[in-house]
Amino acid sequence: MPSFSHSFHATSLREYDIRGIVGKTLSAADTFAIGRVFGTIVARNGGSHVVTGRDGRLSSPMLEDALIAGLIASGMKVSSVGCGPTPLLYYASYALKADGAAMITGSHNPPDYNGCKMMLGKKPFFGTQIQDLGRMAAEGDVVEAAPGSSETVDLRDAYITRMLQDYDGGTRALKVVWDPGNGSGAEITQMMTRRLPGEHIIINGDIDGTFPNHHPDPTVLKNLEQMIAKVKETGADLGIAFDGDADRIGIVDNEGVMFFGDQLLVVLARDVLKSHPGATIIADVKASQLLFDEVAKAGGVPLMWKTGHSLIKAKMAETGAPLAGEMSGHVFFADKWYGFDDAPYSAIRLLGIVARMTGKLSDVRHAFPVLINTPELRFDCPDDRKFDVVAEVKARLATAGAKVQDVDGVRVLSEDGWWLLRASNTQAVLVARAEAGSEVGLDRLKAQIAEQVVASGLVAPDFSGENAGH
């Protein structure tokens, strides 16, 4: 028998990270095993130094301690950046020239969830690598090494100083409302805004792992209501919100209207393309056609790619794209920055753009073509059927002569607009979305989705929710 062996809960090994409900499907024994095996992988990759961090959840200190113990047992030197945003850990991996990185975080999930995101070298650790980690743990396939060591490092000031080097808004005094959502980006927000010009109003600015004010997901309008009210009350130029570990950003303009992830990317892309003419700009398959059209108009090369922050980062490295983004609020700057998803850094770049505007951020939104779209619709489909259903739909569409983009699922183009059906990589659900130039056109697209889903033996998704102007 191997001296070490561990089996993870069947639901915890995801496409992009390891995640579960603390005390039920995720425990300290699990994060020790992550450290023990991930340290082995780093060692076999020729490395010896791993940086760790944790978000503000109540379970995170206990889980990080166990993670570090596992890494030490694999002979690693461990540098913990403590409690902070996931991008701080990513920054630390570069600043400390680490061989790997592991973050204890439940991201935007409810308070009883937690998990671990990892990097091997400077690349995301995901997909088959996570499945291999699970197999190695079960088989006890780990290195036997002399114990490593651990230290705590505070890189918050260095991280903020480096970010502020790229603020290019001059001294214009913007008024900004910030909502870090009681997540692990709260202290960074306070420290950063003290060094930015203008007036900064922070709500929900203390780290609180119970998330007492709202769920920390800034892509859901309900979670932005407090910030919208404060923007209107104070006459602010914009509002900026982060998710639970501050790797995703949400924006509202001076009128308190939400900017979707793809609309934000249009604003950022136009600016980046001024210094990188002809560059590739990547967005995920859920993004509006508006984004791809506007990137082309601005002289860029739009590239539609698969949803998932790890997949986007890998594609950026492959194509040399200076900027990428997802509807979920992940924004990746390789222009002047490191190519990882970083909400505080994206906020600083956006503030520079707004400070240099002659008008208001709402003027940009008003100038966009009016499109009507559904929210992202997620509906149940068994894990062992979801990819088959998409394949069945694709086959039927091929025989019907439909115009299909199949980068990730099926995205069907028509005179009305487009609709999307894809399988989630992380849940037993299918994801649908549609966008058109009119309500009548959108209804036709919804009917096409329903027809295809029913043809594969599933119940049609509920389209009764409100459509969004875009």
Active site residues: 107
Per DSSP, 84 falls in state: S
Q: How many CB atoms lie within 10 A of CB 77?
A: 18
- Is residue 204 a contact partner of residue 182, using CB atoms and an 8 Å limit? yes
Show contacts of 441-445: CB within 8 Å, 24+ apart. 441/415, 441/416, 441/417, 442/372, 442/373, 442/374, 442/416, 442/417, 442/467, 444/414, 444/416, 445/414, 445/416, 445/417, 445/418, 445/419
Using CA atoms, how far apart are residues 115 and 125, in angstroms rounded to an integer?
A: 14
Dihedrals φ, ψ of 403, to 5°? -90, 110
259, two tokens: 């900017």
Q: Which residue has the tokens 């808004």?
A: 169
Alpha helices, DSSP H, located in 15-127: 28-44, 60-73, 86-95
Using CA atoms, how far apart are residues 20 and 243, in angstroms rounded to an integer?
A: 18
